[in-house]
Amino acid sequence: MRFLLPQLLLLIIPCLIVAGIALQMPRIRQRQLMKLGDIPLTTTLLNRAGTSRRGIVRHLLWLIAAVALVLAMARPVWGQEIELVPRGEVAVMLMLDVSRSMNAQDVSPSRLERTRLFAVDVVRRLTGTEIGLMLFAGRAILQSPLTTDLNTIDLFIRNASSSAIQRQGTNFQAAFELANKSLNSLYATTRFVLLLTDGEDHEGGLEPVLQGLSDQQVRVIVVGVGTESGATVPLEGGSTLRDGDGVEVISRLNEQSLRDIAERTGGVYWSLVDAETNTELFAQLFRSTNQVEGGTGSNVIEVERFGIFVLLAVVALALEFALRLQPSVQIGEAK
């Protein structure tokens, strides 16, 4: 079990504190009444003050209800279920650059972190679209083939890091070739490559592969990550990337190269800032041609279980109310 809003679990602490105080109050009241010395009167007052077991049970029921409501608000999830979603006629291969330069921090908190957040946001808006994920640097790996299971894609995106591929560089050629080969949907009639990169230090040789994408009517939508002024590239241990002469390397967004890639395939170029500002419009680039359904696909979703805890809270409050309505047996009353 996990919670979608785990920070709300901190509310359990004040619930426990209040419950502890409530349970101690009868004992404090009992010590004060015992000082009266009149045994029959003290016994009657203690009964009326709620020091019986019934009073303790009522306090515990209030605690159970409060904790259950906090757990419900924290949105607990466990288990999975298959959700059928309409399958559109669009397939998108997400190409995520995880080269070392993507750790530069001219985009806060880093190029890669901002790219992951943006990619997750876009993917969530493309329900029913077949989406695949590739990671690339000096070589390319297919992290997930085309699927409508957006939770799987979401998980892979969040775990993407520059340590996923040891060979450094930005080998667009290998990435595009693998993307074209992997866009093999049986349903899609329109296919896109969504490229998220800083365009830094690519190895060239793109003309043939871009021509192949264009011939296959695969459009490349490019999101440029970074700034033209650039930033140093942090390495593990707190140092920065340096060239052979010991000078710090400044990684810069290669915007013109990325524009050329998009235009060569009839695609579109966006900077990350513009794409984030207009996320819905950006996602519409894919959805606009996704109107005709091509059957159904499956999406594995986690199941929220907050209803169980709401029911537990209602039951606890109902029992407390029933106990309150029952008449107390008073000791020492006139017979």
Q: What is the pLDDT of residue 190?
A: 83
pLDDT-derived band at 19, boundaries 50, 70, 90: confident
pLDDT above 70 coverage of the chain, percent: 79
Q: Band of the pLDDT at 34, cuts 50, 70, 90?
A: low
Count Cα neighbours of 103 within 13 Å in the Cβ-side half-sphere. 18
Selected residue with higher pLDDT from 225 and 50: 225
Question: How much is the pLDDT for 156?
Answer: 92
Q: Are residues 59 and 177 in the same domain?
A: no
Mean pLDDT of the chain: 80
Q: Compute the C-alpha angle 2/96/301, nearest 5°.
A: 30
Degrees to nearest 5, angle at CA 213 with 211 and 215? 70
- Tell me, yes or no, whether 26 lies in a domain: yes
Is residue 57 domain-shared with residue 193, that is, in the same domain?
no
pLDDT digits (tens, 9 = 90+) for 161-182: 888 887 777 788 888 989 988 9
* Number of domains into which the chain is organized: 2
Checking if the pLDDT of 237 tops 70, the result is: yes
Interval 79-122: pLDDT, tens: 766 555 455 578 899 999 998 889 999 998 999 999 999 999 98
Which amino acid type is present at position 20?
A: G
Is 98 found in the same domain as 180? yes
Chain-centroid distance of CA 67 in Å reads 25
Helix/strand/coil for 221: strand
**Residue 187: inside a domain, yes or no?**
yes
Shared domain check, 99 and 59: no
Question: Which residues face 234 on adjacent strands?
Answer: 240
91 vs 36, residue with greater confidence: 91
* Strand 76-88 relative to strand 293-304, pairing: antiparallel
265 vs 4, which has greater pLDDT? 265
Could you tell me if residue 287 is inside a domain? yes
pLDDT over threshold 80, residue 158 = yes
**In-domain check, residue 111:** yes
Domain membership of residue 44 (yes or no) is yes
Calpha distance 134→111 (Å, rounded): 17
User: Backbone phi, then psi, for 162, in 5-degree steps?
Assistant: -70, -10
Bridge partners (DSSP) of residue 304 are 77
Same domain, 247 and 160: yes
Are 287 and 309 in the same domain? no
Statement to judge: residues 69 and 10 lie in one domain = yes
| CA–CA distance, 213 with 19 (Å, rounded to integer) | 66
**Residue 332: predicted pLDDT:** 43
Q: Contact at 8 Å (CB) between 323 and 54?
A: yes
pLDDT digits (tens, 9 = 90+) for 212-230: 898 888 999 999 999 989 8
CATH, residue 134? 3.40.50.410
* pLDDT for 43: 58
43 is a domain residue: yes
Residues 137 and 228 in one domain: yes
Domain shared by 124 and 205, yes or no: yes
Give domain status of residue 158, yes or no: yes
Rounded Cα gap, residues 18 and 22, in angstroms: 6
Do residues 253 and 204 both lie within one domain?
A: yes
The parent domain of residue 171 ranges over 90-291
Exposed e or buried b per residue across 245-279, where buried means at least 16 C-beta atoms within 10 angstroms of its C-beta: eeeebebbbbbebbbebbebbebbbbbbeebbeee
For residues 72, 77, 80 and 83, what is the CA-based torsion angle, rounded to 10 degrees?
60
Q: How many residues are listed for the chain in this entry?
A: 335
Same domain for 50 and 146, yes or no, is no
Angle between helices 53-73 and 12-34 (to 10 degrees): 170
Q: What pLDDT is attached to residue 32?
A: 66
Look at 2 and 131; give whichever has higher pLDDT: 131
Residues 183 and 230 in one domain: yes
For residue 242, the model assigns a pLDDT of 87
Higher pLDDT, residue 6 or 54: 6
Alpha-helical regions (H) of 125-269:
150-158, 172-182, 207-215, 255-264
* SS3 call for 121: helix
Q: Is residue 85 one of the residues assigned to a domain?
A: no
Query: 335: pLDDT confidence band, cut at 50, 70 and 90?
Result: very low
